[in-house]
Amino acid sequence: MQKLLLGALALVVITMLCGYGLWTEQRPVGHYLSDLRIELTLNQGVPANQGNLLGIEPELFPGDYQSLQRLHLKLAAYLQHARELGLINAKTVVILPEHIGTWLWARGEKNEMYQATRLDQARQWLELSNPFHYGLAMLRATGDDRRSDAHLRMKASQMAADYQAVFGGLAREFDVTLVAGSIVLPEPYIKDGRLRVGSGPLYNSSVVFANDGSVLGQPLRQQHPDNAVRRFIHEGDQPLQVLETPAGRLGVLVGSDSWYPDNYRQLEHQAVHLIANPAFIGAKNGWNAPWRGNRHQPLATQLPLKPGEVSEGEAWQRLILASKGSEQASMSVFLQGRFWEISANGEGFASRNGQNFSVSAKPGARLLNLWL
């Protein structure tokens, strides 16, 4: 009798495990409507056959990342609108916001994850749906926030391939140089023209694609991660790169790297006149909140502003305008939208010849254009 009961119990357990295994493999894509509208909120200068910096501040939500087709549709619609406005040419440098690639960790998951109301709930669905991969990633995770590390590490190879497919494809489709915001990956590098991942620490990196979809240079790692992500993202230790584009020599400063004057001096010494700054603020009404500074960076003590002295938005603009060279043209672009309870916001701006040009703040997706 005891053997019979144990056999029946084993059968129930095996059936439950098989059912759970089948459930984890199911990835239905639900119906989803997305707003493809975008407004031109900054258009400075006049066309002079020297190209332009074109910033796109997309309004994105978790559902936009459920499939690559959805993400491509939305971003391509924005670029198509810019083309219809005459803002795209062979010398256009398109700039997308920081972390636009990082959210690719949410691609291809269960509907329950996208329907969650809080990020913690979404992360639990991610773990339940990928138990084997999550367990292996936890064994390799590093940093103070090993759970966040594991979530990104377990999807890293897929994220790298998706990132190159989407953003390299958009660069080729619209014949532009494209600064593809940023993506967090373990030790990313380019080999044989492909974005690949290693097994070491996570870095917040930007990749630039040429107008044929190929990669320019190597991933540009953020040097000074801000307070919110330092528990799992490491500081980049590579020198700044200079990239040749049809519009001129380009440098990329990811996020808060744009606050530090030495970065601009390095780029200026290398005759860089174009600076792209993909940026991200993930706090409700964070643009108008007191500036938090970067308390974990020793260099931050040398900045001319103190935390709480001005608003977040004013700090970004003042620090960049005071740091860059007078002949350098720059543009900062912020992600818009909502990722569970995280509200992505910020108001993009451009600067040139000692002047700062701010957007007309409107809700939704925005285009920023600076003729060179």
pLDDT tens digits for range 40-98: 999 999 999 999 999 999 999 999 999 999 999 999 999 999 999 999 999 999 999 99
For 267-285, letters b (16+ CB in 10 Å) and e give: bbeeebbbbbbbbbbbeee
Which residues does 123 contact at the CB level (< 8 Å), separation at least 6?
147, 151
Give the CA angle between residues 100, 115, 57 to the nearest 5°.
25
The mean pLDDT of 112-124, rounded to a whole number, is 94
- Return the pLDDT at 28: 56
Query: Does the structure show a pLDDT above 50 at 150?
Result: yes
Q: Compute the distance between CA of residue 292 and CA of residue 303 in angstroms, rounded to an integer.
A: 13
pTM for the full model?
0.90
Is residue 23 very low, low, confident or very high in pLDDT (cuts 50, 70, 90)? very low
Domain positions in the chain are: 1-30+108-154, 37-107+155-371
**Does 274 or 361 have the greater pLDDT score?**
274
CATH topology of domain 37-107+155-371: Nitrilase/N-carbamoyl-D-aminoacid amidohydrolase (3.60.110)
Average pLDDT in the chain: 89
Based on its alpha-carbon atoms, the radius of gyration of the chain, rounded to whole angstroms, reads 22
- Return the pLDDT at 26: 52
Is residue 15 very low, low, confident or very high in pLDDT (cuts 50, 70, 90)? very low
Query: Does the structure show a pLDDT above 50 at 134?
Result: yes
- Return the pLDDT at 18: 46
Q: Compute the distance between CA of residue 68 and CA of residue 65 in angstroms, rounded to an integer.
A: 7
